[in-house]
């Protein structure tokens, strides 16, 4: 008894074989060949599942997340969006402490970064007694202030692990909450610029450390020995 090849059964269940071949293959199945019957039944189920999957509409935000995470995992040489290191323009910890700061109920920090034509304004808040930090930010195009930056994915990364993610609204604003850990970095893939903005991220610190940072005139993102 002649058996048909796997590729032929694939075309058969998809309705792609010629009429003469279809008749011959149906006759073969009717003859009781269990091997080919099993192959044909398996391929029919696969074809039904494939047609069902093709009708599923993947949300646009899920596609953006997947693309951004894929970009982060690529080797540097083939990275689709090259990194654009952000430069620190402003850090409120470099300013003198206002009176009464030691009695505040929480710690907060505001920083402003610039990367090319884009600026990133970040505010980090840590309620006293809480182990988590609330991050609120806004990305803007300094060259074209009126240009909307909605739908931009923002990723919080430690090493190769994505700890948090958010998508900016129509004003370029975003927010997330996270537990502080070492080597935190914020990545903002901006496809309009063909780059992803990258910057270090540290948690708000207490008044004593802030006083030391203001006196030394050094950025508090690095400690001695790092």
List pLDDT tens digits, range 49-90.
887 777 778 788 888 888 777 766 655 443 446 778 888 999
Describe the strand order of the beta sheet including 106-115 as a list of residue ranges: 87-91, 106-115, 118-127, 133-141, 173-178
Cα–Cα distance measured from residue 34 to residue 44, given in angstroms and rounded to the nearest whole number: 15
* pLDDT over threshold 80, residue 113: yes
Q: Specify the pLDDT at position 81.
A: 64
* pLDDT over threshold 60, residue 183: yes
Q: What is the value of pTM for the model shown?
A: 0.52
Q: Do 198 and 191 touch, CB atoms closer than 8 A?
A: no
Rg of the chain taking only CA atoms, in angstroms: 28
The backbone torsions φ and ψ at residue 11, rounded to the nearest 5 degrees and listed phi first, read: -65, -30
Describe the strand order of the beta sheet including 195-200 as a list of residue ranges: 83-85, 195-200, 184-190, 153-158, 161-167
Q: Which residue has the tokens 């391929």?
A: 43
Adjacent-strand bridge partners of 112:
90, 121
Domain extents in the chain: 6-54, 61-216
Q: Specify the pLDDT at position 207.
A: 46
């Amino acid at each position: 008894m002649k058996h048909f090849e796997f590729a032929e059964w694939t075309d058969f269940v998809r309705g792609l074989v010629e009429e003469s071949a279809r008749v011959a293959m149906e006759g073969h199945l009717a003859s009781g060949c269990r091997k080919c019957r099993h192959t044909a039944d398996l391929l029919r189920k696969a074809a039904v599942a494939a047609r069902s999957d093709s009708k599923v509409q993947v949300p646009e935000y899920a596609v953006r997340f997947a693309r951004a995470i894929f970009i982060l995992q690529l080797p540097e040489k083939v990275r689709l969006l090259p990194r654009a290191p952000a430069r620190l323009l402003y850090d409120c910890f470099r300013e003198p402490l206002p009176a009464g700061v030691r009695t505040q109920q929480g710690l907060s920090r505001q920083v402003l970064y610039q990367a090319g034509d884009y600026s990133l304004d970040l505010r980090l808040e840590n309620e006293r007694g809480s182990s988590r930090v609330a991050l609120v930010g806004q990305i803007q195009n300094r060259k074209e202030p009126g240009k909307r930056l909605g739908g931009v994915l923002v990723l919080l990364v430690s090493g190769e692990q994505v700890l948090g993610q958010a998508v900016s609204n129509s004003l370029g604003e975003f927010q997330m909450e996270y537990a502080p850990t070492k080597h935190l970095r914020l990545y903002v893939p901006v496809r309009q610029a063909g780059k992803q903005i990258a910057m270090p991220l540290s948690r708000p610190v207490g008044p004593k450390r802030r006083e030391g940072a203001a006196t030394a005139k050094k950025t508090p993102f690095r400690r001695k020995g790092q």
